[in-house]
Amino acid sequence: MGADFSPLDRQLGLGRQGWSEQVEKQVVKLAVRGSYGEAIETYQELVGLSLAKTTSWERTQERGARLREARIAAAEQAWAMPKRQEIMPGQTLEPVKKGVAMDGVLVYILDEEWKEVKVGCVFEYETRTEYCRKTKELKEVVKAKDQSYVAYLGEPEPFAKLLSAEAGRRGYDQAQERVCVADGAKWIWNVCSLCFPTARQIVDWFHAVEHLWTAAHLAKDLEPRQLKRWVKARKDALWLGHTQTVIADIEALADDNPVQAEKLHKQAGYFQRNGRRMQYQECHEEGYPTGSGTVESGCKQLVGMRMKGPGMRWSRPGAENMLALRTEFLSKRWDEAWQLTLTP
């Protein structure tokens, strides 16, 4: 029969290479979760059918390309619609709390070396009471839930459109409380101001504390115990929102360490730029999240666990297509996303 379908192929819904849509859907899902080889091995063990590794790769890339095109087209369409830049008086809002978080993670691209994948997360958050093993007391913590993700290998503007569209799908603008949490990267806050002007902006607490440690280590005259005490005192001040105190103390270190002065001025500038985003005690008391762990975890799951294995190198289209599929898988909407891949 050559390349023609047999009557049994038609009855079973098989394609030219003997794959039904359901077989392809499951094999692609396995390839998105693990490697292409692991997908084939797992499917063979479960079903007893022999499949080619290259075919798994081809099908995964084809479906990823279709999905990526569909999501970009939807984002462009949503971006063209008028945007509301403020909450209108009397506007009815949903009694939920929603946030966005952004970060970047590197992936190795053939002929380009390491390139940044921009990752965005949309989530709901709530305050829970949990037992703290360290203090042996109950305390209130803010937890993220119902996370969904977008990712883009490239410049901030196309990423912003994807994240804005995802937030729109999730009803972000209708939430009673909105927040954007991230590190101090300038591109992130540009995206936040452009796409989410009504959000409360918060710099991730742990990133801010890392900058305190960086400043302390630059001061060569601090002994280890002095260094820890110096950081502890500035952490306390920072938590209370006293960023100007922190800035002054770092500038004092610069005066005492002329060799490291330029680097210390840079650290002080970080706190100067982000001071209004560092009202941690106030944010905590009002029930806002002060950490961006949800998107950092997303970076690890999205890229680290699938795309940064030993010796892994990606073509740009290969990485883009895998990112499109993997974001939908981690967002727990595989069936919905698969429907978008069915139209060539």
Residues 266 and 188 in one domain: no
In 189-263, DSSP assigns E strands to 200-203
- Alpha carbons within 13 A on the beta-carbon side of 304: 10
CB 64 within 8 A of CB 321: yes
Tell me: do 254 and 133 sit in the same domain.
Answer: no
**What is the average per-residue pLDDT within 19-36?**
85
In a domain, 341, yes or no: no
Partners of 138 in the beta sheet?
131
Does 298 have pLDDT greater than 50? yes
Instruction: Based on the fold, state whether residues 194 and 109 are members of the same structural domain.
Output: yes
pLDDT at 9: 37
The answer to whether 163 and 176 have CB atoms below 8 angstroms apart is no
Residue 87, number of CB atoms within 10 A of its CB: 13
Q: Residue 310 above 50 pLDDT?
A: yes
The verdict on 170 and 87 lying in the same domain is yes
Domain of 106: which CATH number? 3.30.420
Encode pLDDT of 215-255 as tens digits.
Answer: 999 987 778 888 999 999 999 999 999 999 999 999 999 99
* Same domain membership, residue 109 and residue 93: yes
Residue 262: domain span: 207-277
Domain match, 227 and 119 both: no
Instruction: Tell me how many domains the chain contains.
Output: 2
* Residue 133 domain flag: yes
The answer as to whether 33 is a domain residue is: no
